[in-house]
């Protein structure tokens, strides 16, 4: 089961991808999480990626594509995976398709989590992420049991730098210019599935499960 999550930043891709990964027992691969882990560990990739991420820009394709192509070739991806935050450009999608085609494989589901722009800034300014395990919450919609503390690991929750409103607007513009064209790309391939991301988290997940079977 090879799944791609599409949608604006803050649409709920990560929230849903984690649940999909757990229900279908496949890895959740988030390029944003991979970059943030590299930044935390001070790697060269992390330092390069940070200069783009801080401005709300996309990290260049050449820094992302090989990383994902290698990751999906790993043993734990044999049964499939859910990609969250990749592809974000047409060249990334083409590179993934070309790499999979070499082994006679293809993406099976591209799930577009639809949320209008006017909801996004609110979603992102309320998002809190755990500094240690990366779990995400929303201060109003999906609050942790204790304010500022991760339910899963007990560490501190923070507002990501790139979730501040001025950066979010940049990210939304870039989403419309560079990532939204992927909706047509996967529609043409006949694998696009749309879900209403404005519903409650559990209702969105039910819609997705109805699609995946």
Say which residue the tokens 């899963």 belong to: 152
Site string for ligand ADP, 102-141 (x = CB under 6 A): ---------------------x--xx--------xxx--x
Cβ(9)–Cβ(171) below 8 Å: yes
List beta partners, residue 129: 136, 158
Parallel/antiparallel/unpaired status of strands 127-130 and 136-138: antiparallel
Q: CB of residue 9 vs ligand ADP: minimum separation in angstroms?
A: 5
Residues 139-168 that bind ligand ADP (CB under 6 A): 141-142
Interface map 24-63 toward ligand ADP (x if CB under 6 A): ----------------------------------------
Q: What are the φ and ψ backbone dihedral angles of 114, each rounded to 5 degrees?
A: -90, 125
Strand locations in 133-196, DSSP E? 136-138, 157-158, 192-196
Binding to ligand AMP in span 169-208, by CB under 6 A:
171
Give min distance, CB of 82 to ligand AMP, in A: 13
- Strands (DSSP E) contained in 151-206 are 157-158, 192-196
Give residues in contact with ligand AMP (CB under 6 A): 9, 31-32, 35, 52-53, 57-59, 64, 85-88, 92, 162, 171
């Amino acid at each position: 089961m090879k799944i791609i999550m599409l949608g604006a930043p803050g649409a709920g891709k990560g929230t849903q991808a984690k649940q999909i990964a757990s229900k279908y027992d496949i890895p959740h691969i988030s390029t944003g999480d991979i970059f943030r882990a590299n930044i935390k560990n001070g790697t060269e990739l992390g330092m390069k990626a940070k200069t783009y991420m801080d401005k709300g820009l996309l990290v260049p394709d050449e820094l992302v594509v090989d990383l994902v192509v290698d990751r999906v070739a790993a043993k734990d991806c044999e049964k499939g995976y859910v990609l969250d935050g990749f592809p974000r450009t047409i060249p990334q999608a083409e590179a993934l398709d070309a790499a999979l085609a070499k082994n006679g494989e293809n993406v099976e589901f591209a799930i577009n989590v639809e949320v209008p722009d006017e909801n996004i800034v609110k979603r992102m300014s309320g998002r809190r992420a755990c500094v240690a395990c990366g779990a995400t919450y929303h201060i109003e919609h999906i609050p942790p049991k204790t304010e500022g503390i991760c339910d899963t690991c007990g560490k501190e929750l923070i507002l990501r730098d790139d979730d501040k409103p001025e950066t979010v607007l940049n990210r939304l513009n870039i989403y419309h210019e560079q990532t939204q064209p992927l909706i047509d790309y996967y529609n043409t391939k006949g694998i696009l599935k749309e879900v209403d991301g404005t519903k409650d988290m559990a209702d969105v997940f039910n819609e997705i499960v109805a699609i995946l079977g």
